[in-house]
């Protein structure tokens, strides 16, 4: 038992039938946000601001998809 071990992040619940994980990037500022795109309405629901590609990879791991499969929105 280690005193300083990393905690495993809990899975992010979402409905794959109605929502799609996506990354939204700003063309002007370069800011990137991960979240979910509603398949029916096209509305983007922000989940978390990212600072690097590793944050996006961690989001993909928590959602349960491959980083190459995430949709990019501008």
Q: Which residues contact 49 (CB under 8 A, 6 or more apart)?
A: 31, 32, 33
Categorize the per-residue pLDDT at 30 as very low, low, confident or very high, splitting at 50, 70 and 90: confident
pTM of this structure: 0.80
Report the percentage of the chain scoring pLDDT > 70: 91
pLDDT > 60? residue 10 = yes
The domain limits of the chain are 19-73
The predicted structure's pLDDT at residue 2 = 61
* 39 vs 62: CA distance, rounded Å: 20
């Amino acid at each position: 038992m280690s005193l300083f071990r990393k905690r495993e992040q809990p899975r992010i619940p979402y409905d794959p039938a109605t929502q799609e994980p996506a990354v939204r990037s700003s063309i002007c500022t370069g800011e990137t946000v991960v979240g979910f795109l509603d398949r029916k309405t096209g509305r983007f629901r922000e989940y978390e601001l990212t600072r690097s590609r590793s944050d996006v990879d961690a989001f993909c791991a928590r959602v349960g998809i491959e980083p190459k499969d995430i949709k990019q929105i501008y």
